[in-house]
Structure 1
Amino acid sequence: MDSTLLKGLKVFQYLVDAREPVGVSALANQLGLPKSNVHRTLSTLVAAGYAIRHENGSYEATLLVWEQGMKVIKRNQVRRAAIAFMHVLQRETTETVNLVLPDGDDCLYVHQMSADAPMRISSTTGERAPAIMTISGRVMLAFQPGYSERARHLYAAHSPQPPFLLDDLLQDIEHAKKDGYAFSASHFRPGINSMAGVICGQNGLSVGAIAVAGPKERFTEEKMLALVQPLLSACTGIRQALGG
C-alpha cells in the first residue's frame, strides 16, 4: 500500500466532505498529519484542478470532483439499464422513485425521478446511508452471502444504537429474501412510507434496488400493496437488461 497516496486521499476526502473552506492547520489537526505534508498535498490538488486556494489561505474542492463523478455514474451499467424502467414506474406510482446501489456496508442514491404531486419526498442524489437504516439497503442485504450474520454485525457495530429492534431488521430482510421486496411504514422517516425491490445480477446477488417513497397520507399501505407487481416488474426488467 502506498502510504503517501493514502494520506493524500484522506486530505482530498476531507476537502470534499467539508461544508466550508478549510485551512492547512485545521486540516492537519483533524487528520493528525504534519502541516508540511498537508500543504504539499493541497498544492498538488490545486495544480491538478481539484482544489482552489482562497486569498485567506483556505482551500476547498472544485466542481471538477463533481464532473469526474458524473462520468463514473453515467457509465454505470445498472443505472443505464434502470432509467427506462424507472420512468415507467414513476408514471404508474406518481411518487418519487430512486435507484440505490450497494457500496460496502452502505447504500448510495444514484438516480432519482421526483413525484408529480406536491410534498415530494427527496433523497439527495449522491447521498449515502447505512444499509440497515433504509428499506433499500435491507432488500439488498437479503441477497448477499451470509446476509443474516452480516445484518447482525452491522446492527451491533452501528453507533449510536439503531432506533429499532434487531428482530425487526431481520424480519424485513427475511421478507425481502422470500418475496424480493419489503415495505417501510414510517420506520425511517416520520410520516413517510416506502417500498423497495431488489435488482439481482446474473449470479443472483444484489446489484441495486428500486425504492418508491411518499407521504403516508397519500402513499398508503394499500397503495403500496397495489404497486408490488409494477415494482417487481421493473426490477425484473432491469435484471434482464443486464443480462440476468
Structure 2
Amino acid sequence: MQNVINALRVLEEVAARQPVGVGEVARGLGLPKSTVQRSLKTLHEAGWIRPAGGEVTRWQVTSKALQIARRTELGLRDAAMPVMEELRQRTGETIHLMVPEGDAVVLIERLETDKPLRIVLPLGIRLPLHASANGKAVLAHLGGLLEDLPGYTDTTITDAGALRAELEAVRARGYADNRGEWRSDIAAVAAAVLGPDGPIASLSVSTPASRMPEELRAEYGKLVTQAARTLTDSLG
C-alpha cells in the first residue's frame, strides 16, 4: 500500500513541477531518491509520465490523467443535466456547472435563459475562487484561505478577514452569492456539490445584476442549494 501512496505522491509532484528530475521530486516530498526512482519507473511503465524532451532525467505527465478527467467530467455532466434543467425551469435563468481547478473554478456546462437580456460565459472560462459565487461555494468547503486576493470590481472581497467571515456565512446558509464581485454586471448564487473528500463541483443561477433583487437572491439561493444536494445524492 505504501508503494501505491508513494507513486501517487510522486505523480502529483511531477504534475506540479514538470519538467522535473528525481532529485527535485525527492526533496519536495522528503523521500529517498531510490524510492522516487522506483515510483517514476512504475508511472512511466503505466503510461502516466514520460521523459521531458526525450531526456530520461526529467519527467512530465502524459495525457492519460486528462483523459480520465474528461471521462469523469462526462459522468458529472450526465448526472447534472436533469438537475440543471429543473433548476432552469424553476428560475427561468442561466444555470452553470463548474468544477474546481487550482485557484479557480472552470465552467464545464451551462443551460441558458430564454430571456433576451443575458450574459453568456464561454465554456472553459476560469473564475476566481474568492470573487465568484461558484468559487466561494467551493472555497467554503476547502481547508485554508487564499493568500492573494486581487480586486476585480469595487465589491470584490480582498481582505482575508472579510473573506473568512463571508465563507462562514456561506456554510451557515448553504449557498454563496456574487454581488458584482467579478464583473459588476453579473449576479449569481451557487452551492457546492460535495464528494467524500470535499467539493467536486458547484451549481449556480446566474443573471444580469439588475434581475436579482434581494428577495429573488434568497429564493434562488434555496433552490440552488436543493439542486446541489440532489446532484450530490445522485453521485453517491
Describe the shift of the 1:172–1:78 C-alpha distance in structure 2 as closer, same or farther (beyond 3 A). Answer: farther
Matched, 1:240 2:195: no
1:85 and 1:111 map into 2 onto residues whose CA distance is: 12
Q: Which amino acid aligns with 1:115?
A: T
Aligned match for 1:194, one of 188, 192, 195: 188
Shift of 1:215: 1.6
Whether contact under 8 Å (1:195, 1:212) holds in the other structure is yes
Q: SS at the partner of 2:127?
A: strand
Runs of 4+ off more than 4 Å? 69-72, 158-163
Q: Which amino acid aligns with 1:106?
A: A
Q: Could you tell me which runs of 5 or more consecutive residues in structure 2 were left unpaired when the two chains were aligned.
A: 1-13, 21-51, 55-62
Aligned match for 1:126, one of 124, 127, 137: 124
Q: CA RMSD in A?
A: 3.2
Q: Which amino acid aligns with 2:169?
A: H
Shift of 1:128: 1.4
Matched ranges for 1:1-244 at <5 A: 6=19, 73=70, 75-76=72-73, 77-146=75-144, 150-151=145-146, 153-155=147-149, 158=150, 163-166=156-159, 167-203=161-197, 205-243=198-236
Q: SS at the partner of 1:217?
A: helix
Q: TM-score, normalised by structure 1?
A: 0.63
2:153 and 2:179 map into 1 onto residues whose CA distance is: 20
Whether contact under 8 Å (2:153, 2:182) holds in the other structure is no
Shift of 1:113: 0.5
2:219 and 2:126 map into 1 onto residues whose CA distance is: 29
1:227 and 1:108 map into 2 onto residues whose CA distance is: 21
More strand by share: 2
Q: SS at the partner of 1:81?
A: helix
Whether contact under 8 Å (1:98, 1:212) holds in the other structure is yes
Q: Could you tell me which runs of 5 or more consecutive residues in structure 1 were left unpaired when the two chains were aligned.
A: 8-36, 41-64
- Map Cα deviations across residues 23-45 of structure 1 (whole Å, 9 max, x no partner): xxxxxxxxxxxxxx99x9xxxxx
Shift of 1:70: 9.3
Percent sequence identity over matched residues? 23
- Map Cα deviations across residues 163-197 of structure 1 (whole Å, 9 max, x no partner): 53314422321111222212222232223211111
1:183 and 1:130 map into 2 onto residues whose CA distance is: 13
Describe the shift of the 1:95–1:228 C-alpha distance in structure 2 as closer, same or farther (beyond 3 A). Answer: same
User: Which deviates more from structure 2 when the two are superposed, residues 161-170 or residues 137-146?
Assistant: 161-170
Q: SS at the partner of 2:192?
A: strand
Whether contact under 8 Å (1:78, 1:207) holds in the other structure is no
